[in-house]
A and B are shown apart, each in its own frame.
Chain A
Amino acid sequence: MSSGKKSIRALGAKLLDGAELPIRIAITICGWSSILFVGAIFFFIFKEAAPVFPHLDWGEFFFAHRWIPIPAEGNEPSYGAMGILYGTFAITVVSMFIAMPLGLGAAVYISEFAPPRRKEWLKILIEFLAAIPSIIWGFIGLVIMGPLIQKILGVEVGINLLNASIMVALMAVPLIVSISEDALRAVPDSYREAALALGASKWEIVYKVLFPAARNGLLAASMLGVGRAVGETMAVWMASGNTDNIPENFFNPLLVLERVKALTATIAGEMPDTVHGSEHYQVLFVIGIVLLTISVIINVVSDLIIKGIRKES
């Protein structure tokens, strides 16, 4: 009886073995296809940009503040993108200064302090925030935030670095909140009880227990926030003033009131006016490569940090 059962099971296993091969092949293809897509994206962007590589003045591209792709009659164009690189950098930094405390704070409130019903409401609200298309954020930047900045700060123009950064921050916040909140919620409740029973206050528990315990996830959240800020196009285009501009003094906080031009907005704004295969067109693809490289670096760095943390523990 039992030996009969055994042989049936063996037969079943064999049949499964037979079916396993095609399944395994299919899964392998799926796995490799993502690598294929990434490879293909790199390939096509490089292919479009490549013809300009030999005669692009790279020194000028990275270190000159002179972006004149369509010069006046009789002049040579120049592609000094430093101002645009600065623009993306500035929007990223300023928006993260706003989004990280806000996002982390909201995540802590939702996961640790809010009563259950309010927790649900807030989560729905934040999901809604995440679903707002970026063009709407652009509108809000133009129509609401711009005048608000003018009024509150008493400045003439409200379409600037600050405006774009606030819009990007608001777009990054839902991402940061939901990933941070997941990370905090994943911290075992027994840690909270342990600390509580030792007499720690709720706030002490947050920064002495939850932050260290959820470090990986919180880091991943902020990295994704940075990625969001670097890659955002539409809202930045509309709310930043889209003007190539480098401040004279980097330590003057008023630089947030100046207009900037971002890499993404440059591509989106200028691509329609270029002739396919022209030099300007190719340089815009070089900017695409820069963006792609930044996002690869962000990913690799966050991976390394997370791995490093893992090894340490």
Chain B
Amino acid sequence: MADSQEYSIQVRDFNLWYGDFQALINVTINIKPGIVTSLIGPSGCGKTTLLRSFNRINERYGNVKTTGEIEILSKNILDEDVSVASLRQNVGMVFQRPNPLPISIYDNIAFGLRAHTPRRSLRRTEVDHLVEEALTEAGLWEAVKDNLKRKATGLTLEQQQKLCIARLLPLKPRIILMDEPCSALDAAGIERIEELISDLKQRFTIVVVTHNMAQAKRASDECIYMYLGEIVEHSPTAELFVNPKEEKTAMYIQGRYG
């Protein structure tokens, strides 16, 4: 019922500047819940920038200016009165290089929970339970259940990336943003992370930036093609790759496939 809304992210006339350089130009898109939307485009076209606007983590650079609107869960997240902490509770992010915190596996998973709940009101058993649930969901529980106290930075890259996905889950986010989540992994790792993404997609809105068109084809339902800071095309993935509406999209796909 909460999802009676048709779209979970609605971007309207969004512009973004790094200093004098305009990295996003008049972006208008609607992203649907319950599916995976991929963002593709040549290097430097603004994929990461757009993704990082959805949880406002771009703001840490200090030289960022924006205009326009980004509506997430029926609220313009660029409004003054928005709490970034609660925005980031609803909108989780997975980074290009797995970045578990240099603390224990357990503490990594509990980190978000602890950041959002007053210490007193968190009961140990409850946290234990949520940690197990998150790790199980990410397919990591069996591998780490006996080593929860070990540092998360000692895991393999694939496990680290699963952990980075798992640590979002206790916060019950609505949207998960992923910036080239597989680029540091080997083929087997890529396959398993893609499986995990498709397992999660019913319950979340997932937006994945990828450089790899085969991955966009395999793992996403809708696909957005960007070029030089602008949205060129947004179509169902199957359509975009077989039958691109725009000349530029066609050139990009063909260029990549020889």
| Chain A residues at the B interface, C-beta cutoff of 8 Å | 115-116, 188, 190-201, 204, 208-209, 212-213, 313
Contact B62 A199 (CB under 8 A): no
Identity of the chain B residue whose Cβ is nearest the Cβ of A187 in the assembled complex: B102
Contact A200 B111 (CB under 8 A): yes
Residue B99 at the A interface, CB < 8 A?
Answer: yes
Q: Which of A116, A204, A212, A313 contacts B115 (CB 8 A)?
A: A204
- Residues of chain B within 8 A (CB-CB) of A196 are 57, 60, 88
Residue B74 at the A interface, CB < 8 A?
Answer: no
Identity of the chain A residue whose Cβ is nearest the Cβ of B111 in the assembled complex: A198
Interface string of B77-107 (1 = CB under 8 A from A): 0000000111111001101010111110000
Contact B99 A190 (CB under 8 A): yes
Chain B 53-87 interface residues, beta-carbon cutoff 8 Å to A: 55, 57, 60, 62, 84-87
Identity of the chain B residue whose Cβ is nearest the Cβ of A313 in the assembled complex: B151
Contact A194 B116 (CB under 8 A): no
Chain B 147-195 interface residues, beta-carbon cutoff 8 Å to A: 151, 153-154, 164, 167-168, 171
Contact B85 A194 (CB under 8 A): no
Known A-B contacts: A198-B111, A199-B86. Give 6 more (CB < 8 A).
A190-B97, A194-B164, A197-B88, A199-B85, A201-B85, A313-B153
A198–B173 CA distance with the chains assembled, in angstroms: 10
Residue B112 at the A interface, CB < 8 A?
Answer: yes
A115–B115 CA distance with the chains assembled, in angstroms: 25
Chain B 105-140 interface residues, beta-carbon cutoff 8 Å to A: 111-112, 115-116
Q: Tell me the smallest distance from the CB of B116 to a CB of chain A, in Å.
A: 6
Contact B111 A208 (CB under 8 A): yes
Identity of the chain B residue whose Cβ is nearest the Cβ of A202 in the assembled complex: B60
- Residues of chain B within 8 A (CB-CB) of A197 are 55, 57, 88, 92-93, 95
| Chain B residues at the A interface, C-beta cutoff of 8 Å | 55, 57, 60, 62, 84-89, 92-93, 95, 97, 99-103, 111-112, 115-116, 151, 153-154, 164, 167-168, 171
Contact B112 A198 (CB under 8 A): yes
Contact B115 A194 (CB under 8 A): no
Q: 21 pairs across A/B with beta carbons < 8 Å?
A: A116-B62, A190-B97, A193-B57, A193-B60, A194-B99, A196-B57, A196-B60, A197-B55, A198-B88, A198-B92, A198-B115, A199-B84, A199-B89, A199-B112, A199-B115, A201-B115, A208-B103, A209-B101, A212-B102, A213-B101, A213-B102
- Residues of chain A within 8 A (CB-CB) of B85 are 199-201
Q: A198-B88, A198-B167, A199-B89 are in contact. Are A193 and B116 (CB under 8 A)?
A: no
Q: Which of A191, A199, A212 contacts B88 (CB 8 A)?
A: A199
Identity of the chain B residue whose Cβ is nearest the Cβ of A199 in the assembled complex: B88
- Residues of chain B within 8 A (CB-CB) of A212 are 102-103
A200–B85 CA distance with the chains assembled, in angstroms: 7
A199–B85 CA distance with the chains assembled, in angstroms: 4
Q: A200-B115, A208-B111 are in contact. Are A191 and B57 (CB under 8 A)?
A: no
Q: Tell me the smallest distance from the CB of A44 to a CB of chain B, in Å.
A: 45
A84–B182 CA distance with the chains assembled, in angstroms: 63
Q: Tell me the smallest distance from the CB of B57 to a CB of chain A, in Å.
A: 6
- Residues of chain B within 8 A (CB-CB) of A200 are 85, 111-112, 115
- Residues of chain B within 8 A (CB-CB) of A195 are 101, 111, 115
- Residues of chain A within 8 A (CB-CB) of B164 are 194
- Residues of chain A within 8 A (CB-CB) of B93 are 197
A193–B57 CA distance with the chains assembled, in angstroms: 8
- Residues of chain A within 8 A (CB-CB) of B95 are 190, 193-194, 197
Contact A191 B101 (CB under 8 A): yes
- Residues of chain A within 8 A (CB-CB) of B153 are 313
A197–B164 CA distance with the chains assembled, in angstroms: 11
Contact B151 A194 (CB under 8 A): no
Q: Tell me the smallest distance from the CB of B182 to a CB of chain A, in Å.
A: 16
Nearest 4 interchain pairs by C-beta: A190-B99, A199-B88, A198-B112, A197-B93
- Residues of chain A within 8 A (CB-CB) of B102 are 191, 209, 212-213, 313
A188–B111 CA distance with the chains assembled, in angstroms: 18
> Most chain-A CB neighbours within 10 Å: which of B55, B115, B153?
B115
> Most chain-B CB neighbours within 10 Å: which of A115, A190, A197, A200?
A197
A204–B118 CA distance with the chains assembled, in angstroms: 13
Q: Tell me the smallest distance from the CB of B100 to a CB of chain A, in Å.
A: 7
Identity of the chain A residue whose Cβ is nearest the Cβ of B91 in the assembled complex: A197
A185–B176 CA distance with the chains assembled, in angstroms: 29
Identity of the chain A residue whose Cβ is nearest the Cβ of B60 in the assembled complex: A196
A200–B62 CA distance with the chains assembled, in angstroms: 18
Identity of the chain A residue whose Cβ is nearest the Cβ of B86 in the assembled complex: A199
Contact B171 A199 (CB under 8 A): yes
- Residues of chain A within 8 A (CB-CB) of B151 are 313
Identity of the chain A residue whose Cβ is nearest the Cβ of B62 in the assembled complex: A115
Q: Tell me the smallest distance from the CB of A280 to a CB of chain B, in Å.
A: 54
Q: Tell me the smallest distance from the CB of B15 to a CB of chain A, in Å.
A: 23
